[in-house]
Amino acid sequence: MFLEVITFILLIIFLVFYLRDPRSLIIGFLFNLFFCSFLILFVYLGFSSDHAIFRIIAAIPLFIIGFMLTFGIFALMIGLFLNARVLMRKEGRRFSNCLTLLAGLGILFSIVFLIVEPTRFLSPHFGPIFSGVFFIIVYFFFHLSNFLTAYFLYQFNRPRRNQDFIIVLGSGLINDKVPPLLASRINKAIDFYWKQAAVSFPPTIIFSGGQGPDENLPEAEAMQMYAVEKGIPTQHTIKEDRSVNTYQNMLFSKQIMDSRKEGKYNSIFTTNNFHLFRAGLYAKEAGLNSQGIGSKTAFYYWPNAMIREYIAIVVMGRKRHIKVVGVILGFSILLTTISFLFS
């Protein structure tokens, strides 16, 4: 009875936060808490049953978890190496395309470190330092799991077709033309535009993107021309050509919408699905009550993009992470110092 109540309460708490605003890492944390509680309840009820079939079903999650802990890390490492090879072959050998390779090497180094166990060659006094590093890794593991869960849940966002504005986030031009990555964002907005126009009224599309140092025209202008060529009426488009990053995309677009509708409007934004959650965080930071819809990304590009997104999420919360890591390392160094002094 206790487990059922706890699981139900965690579900209610998660739903309240998620329905109020899914643009938060706390959503991932709350869902993970609920899922763990549900999993424990599921296994407990299964093994408490007198029916063998229920016990077998209850053992399946334990088998999956055991398999992932045993072989999952090796499969992930191999998958990262294979993805890095495909990505660099298709997108070039730029550093930004090497993140999956670096992640795979990081896992390989960790496995070798655990096998060799170099700590045995050092003084036992350094034990607190290695314990501190372990707790830092655990901290970021849980932070990553919360991010992945929140990211996954945000993909289910389905805004109503009563939007006054659609913000299309820029991502850079190639030879002053709209590249495929940016085109997918515009096409997502165009698709939503026509679907809403068919049932209610046509929204206004805001193309948000300034002019880069290697570009001869603002992104917003190239994006607008692309959409007009696809049949979107010019009078239903607006150019926001000052922004140079996602936060400014949201902030400057909000200023345009506020000036036109005096703060009373509905809006959404479009971007690639891997960028969707972080863009939502920037929208929230800019004070914009707008949810997003994501365009599809090539599967081979997704792992590298997700690593980049997570790094950006960590940078967004760098002050909190520095405090946590600083406290852990500081306490570890203090214990190490005490150990040397009183040995």
Residue 343 has pLDDT above 80, yes or no: no
Tell me the per-residue pLDDT of 36-78, one tens digit each, with 9 for 90 and over: 999 999 888 888 887 888 788 888 888 888 888 778 888 889 9
Distances (CA, A) of 215 to 52, 83, 175, 223: 67, 31, 7, 13
Hey, what are 298's tokens? 């090539």
Q: Select the more confidently predicted residue: 54 or 313.
A: 313
pLDDT band at 10 (very low <50, low <70, confident <90, very high): very high
Q: Residue 32 CA to chain centroid, in angstroms?
A: 15
Residue 215 confidence (pLDDT): 78
Residue 310 confidence (pLDDT): 94
Tell me the per-residue pLDDT of 167-182, one tens digit each, with 9 for 90 and over: 999 988 888 888 888 9
User: What does the pLDDT average to over 103-120?
Assistant: 84
Residue 311 confidence (pLDDT): 94
Residue 92 has pLDDT above 80, yes or no: no
Cα–Cα dist 60/340, whole Å:
48
Answer whether 266's CB lies under 8 Å from 164's CB. Answer: yes
| Residue 333, φ and ψ in degrees, nearest 5 | -65, -40
Cα–Cα dist 327/215, whole Å:
45
Residue 264 has pLDDT above 90, yes or no: no
Of 221, 216, 244, the residue nearest 234 (C-alpha): 221
- CATH architecture observed for domain 165-297: 3-Layer(aba) Sandwich (3.40)
First CA to last CA distance, the chain: 51
Q: Select the more confidently predicted residue: 99 or 58.
A: 99
| Residue 73, φ and ψ in degrees, nearest 5 | -65, -35
Residue with tokens 């395309």: 97
Tell me the per-residue pLDDT of 246-263, one tens digit each, with 9 for 90 and over: 999 999 999 999 999 887
Residue 203 one-letter amino acid:
P
Residue 240 has pLDDT above 90, yes or no: yes
Residue 289 one-letter amino acid:
N
Q: Which residues contact 222 (CB under 8 A, 6 or more apart)?
A: 173, 176, 177, 178
List 208's β-bridge partners, or say none. 169, 240
Answer whether 283's CB lies under 8 Å from 290's CB. Answer: yes
Residue 164 has pLDDT above 80, yes or no: yes
Residue 12 has pLDDT above 80, yes or no: yes
Residue 248 confidence (pLDDT): 94
List 268's β-bridge partners, or say none. 166, 291
294: left (phi over 0), alpha (psi -120 to 50) or beta: beta
Cα–Cα dist 71/234, whole Å:
55
Domain ranges in the chain? Answer: 2-154, 165-297
Question: Would the CA dihedral through 17, 30, 290, 293 be positive or negative?
Answer: negative
Cα–Cα dist 249/253, whole Å:
6
Question: Could you tell me the pTM of the whole model?
Answer: 0.88
| CA angle 226–205–168, rounded 5-degree value | 70
Distances (CA, A) of 332 to 98, 107, 336: 33, 24, 6
Tell me the per-residue pLDDT of 274-295, one tens digit each, with 9 for 90 and over: 999 999 999 999 999 999 999 8
Tell me the per-residue pLDDT of 117-136, one tens digit each, with 9 for 90 and over: 777 777 777 788 888 988 99
List 272's β-bridge partners, or say none. 295
Cα–Cα dist 270/293, whole Å:
5
Among 74-83, 85-94, 131-140, 312-321, name the one with the lowest average pLDDT.
Answer: 85-94
Cα–Cα dist 32/145, whole Å:
8
Residue 9 has pLDDT above 70, yes or no: yes
